[in-house]
């Protein structure tokens, strides 16, 4: 009997462990954005502290891809559909050790990097599109390779065409909130954007052809601290949530995102550490643990190690 009890205890311990992690050393970098490159089999990661763009192998080896102190901080990133370029949001929103009065909460840029050489290919300044504070947070591509970027302080979405022309795409009363607002963004193949709002916890749908057509996705739950988004398929959206929640949620729609319902979530025992953004590899969802709460604590010792963590979503039982 004692052997049976011991086996059950060991099985329970194994089952209750957090999900798999890819740990890597990047002292005081605090990566926030993540993007998987299937051609090179690496994860690109950004840095809230110094703007450095790095790459991480599945085995946990970190290398610098591109570094420049004028970047201040880097956030959301995506690999271009051509597989050769990495586009990255650049701002000086809060935690850069290179912050300066002329850029703090003012700078907003979109850069592209050659993934094979690390050379910067383009640098687009968006700071004059809307007056006031700026925080370029995340991007997505549509099927014509136009880019859409969220500005978390200006309550706006910008559009950058494939030839680099930038404009205000959408700015709506629904977006407005104090502090960090619009954040994660994805393009839906049916011709609209889905974007979340960290401050309100809501998800919005924005028509590509008519950006004044903005609606709130009807769902009986707020996702406070909503950060990165990932469209798993046309009807399922993954939401990374932090700021106390530190969980990953998946919602599902049956009416093309007029409404949605909570379909799955990670478990508290998975112990995400301020998860920020998500990327896909071989149909699996991997999360960047940003540890941002440490940056808000003046007494915290800067971390040397960070982790990309597998998200295992557990279905919500149907009532």
Q: 15: buried, middle or exposed (CB in 10 Å: 19+, 13-18, 0-12)?
A: exposed
Percent of the chain at pLDDT > 70 equals 95
Q: With bands split at pLDDT 50, 70 and 90, how would you rate the model's confidence at 16?
A: low
Residue range 209-232: average pLDDT?
97
Q: Residue 292 — φ and ψ, nearest 5°?
A: -60, -30
Percent of the chain at pLDDT > 90 equals 91
Residue range 88-107: average pLDDT?
97
Q: With bands split at pLDDT 50, 70 and 90, how would you rate the model's confidence at 105?
A: very high
pLDDT number for residue 4: 41
Residue range 10-17: average pLDDT?
51
Is pLDDT above 80 for 318?
Answer: no
Residue range 157-176: average pLDDT?
96
pLDDT number for residue 1: 44
Residue range 292-310: average pLDDT?
95
Residue range 32-45: average pLDDT?
98
Residue range 81-90: average pLDDT?
97
* CA angle, 211 then 183 then 70, to 5°: 110
Average pLDDT in the chain: 94
Compute, in degrees rounded to 10, the torsion defined by CA atoms 198, 203, 208, 214: -100
pLDDT number for residue 7: 41
Spatial neighbors of 13 by CB under 8 A, at least 6 apart, are none
Q: HSE of 300 in the Cβ direction (CA atoms, 13 Å)?
A: 12
Is pLDDT above 70 for 310?
Answer: yes
Residue range 148-176: average pLDDT?
97
Q: Which residue from 34, 60, 61, 59 is spatially nearest to 47, judged by alpha carbons?
A: 34
Is pLDDT above 50 for 3?
Answer: no
Is pLDDT above 50 for 273?
Answer: yes
Q: With bands split at pLDDT 50, 70 and 90, how would you rate the model's confidence at 264?
A: very high
Q: Where are the domains of the chain?
A: 26-315
- The domain covering 26-315 belongs, at the CATH homologous superfamily level, to TolB, C-terminal domain (2.120.10.30)
Q: Which residue from 48, 55, 57 is spatially nearest to 29, judged by alpha carbons?
A: 48
Residue range 176-204: average pLDDT?
97
pLDDT number for residue 319: 66
For 193, the token pair is 């954007």
* CA angle, 283 then 201 then 88, to 5°: 55
Is pLDDT above 60 for 8?
Answer: no
Is pLDDT above 70 for 304?
Answer: yes
Q: Which residue from 57, 66, 54 is spatially nearest to 27, judged by alpha carbons?
A: 54
Residue range 151-172: average pLDDT?
97
pLDDT number for residue 143: 96
Coil/strand/helix, residue 295: helix
pTM (global) more than 0.85 = yes
How far is Cα 287 from Cα 279, in angstroms, rounded to an integer?
7
pLDDT number for residue 17: 75
How far is Cα 97 from Cα 104, in angstroms, rounded to an integer?
11
């Amino acid at each position: 009997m004692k052997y049976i009890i011991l086996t059950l205890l060991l099985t329970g311990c194994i089952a209750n462990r957090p999900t798999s992690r890819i740990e890597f050393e990047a002292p005081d970098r605090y990566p926030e954005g993540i993007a998987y490159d299937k051609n090179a089999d690496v994860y690109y990661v950004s840095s809230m502290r110094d703007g450095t763009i790095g790459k991480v192998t599945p085995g946990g080896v970190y290398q610098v891809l591109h570094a420049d102190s004028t970047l201040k901080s880097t956030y959301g990133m995506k690999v271009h559909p051509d597989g050769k370029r990495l586009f990255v949001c650049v701002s000086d929103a809060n935690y850069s050790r290179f912050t300066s009065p002329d850029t703090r909460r003012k700078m907003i840029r979109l850069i592209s990097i050659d993934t094979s050489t690390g050379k910067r290919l383009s640098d687009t300044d968006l700071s004059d599109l809307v007056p006031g504070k700026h925080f370029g947070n995340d991007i997505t591509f549509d099927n014509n390779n136009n880019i859409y970027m969220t500005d978390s302080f200006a309550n706006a979405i910008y559009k950058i065409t494939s030839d680099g022309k930038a404009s205000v795409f959408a700015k709506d009363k629904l977006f407005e909130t104090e502090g960090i607002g619009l954040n994660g963004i994805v393009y839906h193949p049916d011709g609209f954007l889905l974007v979340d709002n960290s401050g309100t916890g809501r998800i919005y749908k924005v028509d590509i052809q008519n950006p004044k057509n903005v609606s709130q996705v009807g769902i009986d739950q707020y996702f406070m601290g909503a950060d990165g988004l990932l469209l798993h398929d046309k009807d399922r959206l993954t939401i990374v949530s932090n700021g106390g929640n530190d969980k990953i949620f998946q919602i599902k729609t049956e009416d093309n995102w007029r409404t949605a319902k909570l379909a799955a979530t990670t478990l508290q025992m998975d112990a995400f550490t301020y998860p920020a953004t998500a990327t896909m590899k071989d149909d699996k969802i991997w999360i960047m643990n940003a540890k941002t709460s440490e940056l808000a604590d003046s007494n915290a010792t800067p971390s040397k190690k960070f982790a990309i963590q597998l998200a295992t979503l557990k279905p919500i039982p149907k009532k």
